[in-house]
Structure 1
Amino acid sequence: MILITGATGFVGSRLVERLVEDNKVIRACIRQKNKIIFPGAVTTQIDELTTNTDWAAALSDVKTVIHSAARVHVMNDLSADPLVEFRKVNVEGTLNLARQAATAGVRRFIFISSIKVNGEGTESGKPYTADDIPAPSDPYGISKQEAEQGLLRLAAETGMEVVIIRPVLVYGPGVKANFLSMMKWLSKGIPLPLGAIHNKRSLVALDNLVDLVVTCLNHPGAVNQVFLVSDGEDLSTSDLLRRMGKALDKPARLLPIPTSWLNLAAILVGKRNVAQRLCGSLQVDITKTRKLLGWKPPLTVDQGLKRAAEGLSK
């Protein structure tokens, strides 16, 4: 049996669907306030991911855990000490689950981490690799790195196999936040001042990420490894918007405003981080993932964007 935490989330819900399609025996972990039923899967309720959570019932007969639940990165976090709050869930809660999983005889623990463990951006043509020295700079990234370190120590101590996957920005049907906003702006024909951005960013379609997780369920080469995942094609923000417009069957109305002007405007309105994501580069090298696992992204960028666009219309 496979236990999936965060089963109602953007990634977790698609994982459940895919594994049910593959005729796997699934236990989907949901929070008590949710009443979602996954056809073909057993559900179990765990209200909190903390150091005190009792996972005994959820882990019964489980041989593989896919841990996608987390306190996610949020803009303008108002917590008095965000790092403390991220650690409670992403580090202490994760390691509590992993320790109980090892005790319960779980064979493999797959952890959905984040590219933020590597850092916030790259120089063009110098992508992150899975074996780079981590350099997280925000509380979310730090908490994910600390969880990774704890899991690998636990693997060495107990023999439970650990697999760590660091996705870049994930998009697909049901995507939220800035990606959804850009699709809505394009679908409405709103002109955007983003036509002269020459950065390079790696993205990953939801189904590509899910396919890699499925590959890691039993692959012997995945044991105690860290993998980066992307679509294998890097785009500038301008190119992404043009191809997103094509997926939406809408023309992308992009104004060629210099990036220096965009950065200055963002600073003036207190949105420096937004400008960094729109104008800066973040590339990943998935050579290790390809070679060690024999994996390649099943969807192209354009196929992934088409699925995301179809999800917008539903």
Structure 2
Amino acid sequence: MSCSKVLVTGASGFVGSAVVARLLLSDKFSVVCCVRDLSQASFPCEHIFFELGGGLPATALVGVTTVVHAAARVHVMSVQGADELGAFRAVNVTGTIRLAADAAQAGVKRFIFISSIKVNGENTHSGRPFTSFDLPAPVDAYGISKWEAECALRDLGARTGMEVVIIRPPLVYGPGVKANFLSMLRWVERGVPLPFGSLTNRRSVVALDNLSDVIVRCIEHPAAPGNTFLVSDGEDISTAQLLQRVARALGVRSALVPCPQIVLFAGLALMGRRALFRRLCGSLQVDMRRTCELLEWTPPVGIDQALAGVAKHYLDTKTK
């Protein structure tokens, strides 16, 4: 039986490695992993050095039918202002289009771009979740660069005939998660009192298993080309509920303390962390019904099951 050859960029990263692992579970795919450090070549398949913006070796795309582009520049706190946007554009826009143009020229059939819900915006209003048909409203440099890359990819696809698929996930969590989610795990596990007990916001999140599952589904599904897909776990929860369920997964008591939002806002504003207030206290919901209908897909993993996996990995690997 012939295999579809799939090239995955960012294959040593959080999302890319999960996609590769899922692809290797099936005998339907052969995989090429693109990584920035060949010492991280941990999968039993071909590995190629790739730094976004630097291009691929001429032979890398030979025989490839699908590219899953998970590599990206994410938030770098030391670069701000106009230089920040330029840095994001150089990698997430220029680098992406160079890769896509090379893929189209090599005869790649489908290009799957892992974008971000930040293209839609930062927050939603009650009862009005984001949809794939909303007018984009990115706020920060990262979101703007992802939107510009989406536009350029659609134009390239229209000119070359290469099928373009765009996926916009919200917050992604899973075993080995870093950044704010890891900090939250540490706070909860240590029993740090957290002033979020009164929050009733609604947020969509997506487990790494669910995101990688829908990405792999987009590789072959006939309804995927030309579409933008929003994805989540299918259950929206408040920040307070998320912390409570994390505590349960870790086997500890929740230490949530009720606190008025105006007090939270004032405290974080004094620390220069207004964006953090928006992420913790604001709502961000996505409507993924169209994703489920077109791809005939439902999330295979629920939030509590996914959090159990996150908690186990955290407890097994944390520094004593």
Residue 42 of structure 2 aligns with which residue?
Answer: 38
Q: How far, CA to CA, are the matches of 1:62 and 1:199 in structure 2?
A: 43
Q: Match for 1:6: what amino acid?
A: G
Structure 1 alignment gaps of length 5 or more: none
**CA separation in 1, counterparts of 2:236 and 2:157?**
33
- Choose the corresponding residue for 1:28, options 30, 33, 38: 33
Measured in 1, the distance between the counterparts of 2:33 and 2:79 equals 29
Name 1:158's counterpart in structure 2. 160
Which of the residues 21, 30, 38 maps onto 1:17? 21
User: 1:234 Cα shift?
Assistant: 0.4
Residue deviations 1:213-263 (CA, integer Å, cap 9, x gap): 011010010011000000010000000000111111111110001111101
Letter paired with 1:30? V
Q: After TM superposition, give the deviation of residue 37 of structure 1 in Å.
A: 2.2
Name the structure 2 match of 1:283: 285
Q: 1:61 deviation in Å?
A: 1.4
* 3-state DSSP of counterpart to 2:311: helix
Equivalent position of 1:65 in the other structure: 67
Q: Which residue of 2 aligns with 1:49?
A: 52
Match of 1:305, as an amino acid?
L
Q: Look up the equivalent residue of 2:44 and give its one-letter code.
A: G
**1:266 matched to 2:281:** no
TM, length-normalised to structure 2: 0.94
Distance change in 2, residues 1:224/1:263 (3 Å): same
- Shift of the 230–76 alpha-carbon distance from structure 1 to 2, 3 Å rule, reads farther
SS in 2 for 1:66: strand
Structure 2 residue runs without a partner (length 5+): none
CA distance in 2, matches of 1:143, 1:277: 20
Q: Displacement, 1:304?
A: 1.1
Runs (4 or more) in structure 1 with deviation over 3 Å come to 74-80
Q: Specify the code of the residue in structure 2 equivalent to 1:167.
A: P
Quote how far apart the aligned CAs of 1:79 are. 6.7
Residue type at the aligned position of 1:130: S
8 A contact 1:129–1:286 mirrored in 2: yes
Output the CA distance in 1 between the equivalents of 2:22 and 2:165: 19
Tell me the amino acid that sits aligned with residue 154 of structure 1. L
Look up the match of 1:235.
Answer: 237
Contact 2:38/2:47, CA 8 A, preserved across alignment: no
Pairs within 5 Å for 1:237-256: 237-256=239-258
Q: How many angstroms apart in 2 are the aligned matches of 1:186 and 1:14?
A: 26
AA partner of residue 122 (structure 1): T
> What is the alpha-carbon distance in structure 2 between the residues aligned to residue 281 and residue 274 of structure 1?
12
The answer for the alignment partner of 1:180 in structure 2 is 182
- Give yes or no for the alignment of 1:6 onto 2:10: yes
The count of residues paired between Structure 1 and Structure 2 equals: 311
Measure the CA separation in 2 of the matches of 1:77 and 1:191: 32
Report the residue type matching 2:52 in the other structure: L
* Paired residue secondary structure (2:280): helix
Give 3-state SS (helix, strand or coil) of 2:59's partner: helix
- Secondary structure of the 1:59 match is coil
Q: CA RMSD in A?
A: 1.2
Give the TM-score normalised by structure 1.
0.96
The 3 A distance-change label for structure 1 pair 145 and 43 is: same
Q: Distance in 2 between matches of 1:309 and 1:75?
A: 27
The aligned amino acid for 1:49 is L
- Inter-CA distance 169–268: structure 2 relative to 1 (3 Å threshold): same
Aligned 1:138-153 pairs, distance under 5 A: 138-153=140-155
Match of 2:197 among 191, 195, 198: 195
User: Equivalents in 2 of 1:225, 1:7: separation in Å?
Assistant: 23
Deviates more, 1:187-196 or 1:33-42: 33-42
Aligned pairs (5 A) from 1:85-96 = 85-96=87-98
SS in 2 for 1:110: strand
Instruction: Describe the SS at the equivalent of 1:81.
Output: helix
User: Is contact 1:79-1:85 (8 Å) kept?
Assistant: no
Whole-angstrom distance in 1 between the partners of 2:212 and 2:307? 16
Specify the SS of the correspondent of 2:60. helix
Aligned residues of 1:186 and 1:245 also touching (Cα < 8 A): yes
Give the superposition deviation at 1:303: 0.8
What is the one-letter code of the residue matched to 1:142? I
Classify the secondary structure of the residue corresponding to 2:113. Answer: strand
Following the alignment from structure 1 to structure 2, what is the Cα–Cα distance between the partners of residues 57 and 139?
33
- Counterpart amino acid of residue 34 in structure 2: C
